[in-house]
Chains A and B, each alone.
Chain A
Amino acid sequence: DAGVTQSPTHLIKTRGQHVTLRCSPISGHKSVSWYQQVLGQGPQFIFQYYEKEERGRGNFPDRFSARQFPNYSSELNVNALLLGDSALYLCASSHGGTGGYSYEQYFGPGTRLTVT
């Protein structure tokens, strides 16, 4: 198993544009979480999905949205990009289990987004 995979690895966008980031979890994992990591800071929680339902949402504006597909892969969408959205976006998968709580999370390599 390749572990959690994310695409693309890097991308550059212009302010006001829209971006879609993709994540494939480890086989058998039903929960996917998204984190934003700004340079010099720890990852910040954006969303958690379990069995295609949103289980948690961090303190991010409505420009950020996500979804999980029947095969448990996930997309993170960001509209009307701002310079401050430049960051490493991490995806993490876990078994989830009952309620999707507190199972070990396995992280992907991240997508580096640069907004100019």
Chain B
Amino acid sequence: AQRVTQPEKLLSVFKGAPVELKCNYSYSGSPELFWYVQYSRQRLQLLLRHISRESIKGFTADLNKGETSFHLKKPFAQEEDSAMYYCALSNTGKLIFGQGTTLQVKP
């Protein structure tokens, strides 16, 4: 079955600390993976996708097919990074989301 797992519901770090939001997936085939972010009172928006290999707002994510993971990382967290983060897998156009991780960056 195709599934996305985000094991942490809440991740709380201090400003300037490194951040790693975990995401594991199960998918038979070549997955296309995304990270979406939802800031307070804003709509869900794409943060990054693995095929573009970009760094957006200082965040990066590497697809590890051996470990079936797509963890989101940022070396130095900022208070404005506080938001809900969803890992998602694309299966012929439909998105399969994880349950989401709330990132709380404390001053």
Contact = CB atoms under 8 A, between A and B. Distances in A.
Interface residues of A, number: 32
B40 to A, nearest CB: 13
A107 B94 contact: no
Interface size class of chain B, counting residues whose CB lies under 8 Å from the partner chain: 20 to 34
Interface in B40-64: 43-46, 49
Given A41-B99, A102-B32, A33 B44 contact: no
A107 B43 contact: yes
Contacts of A45: 94-96
Interface of B is mostly: strand
A108 B99 contact: no
B43 A102 contact: no
Contact of A31 (B46, B49, B93): B93
Interface string B1-21: 000101000000000000000
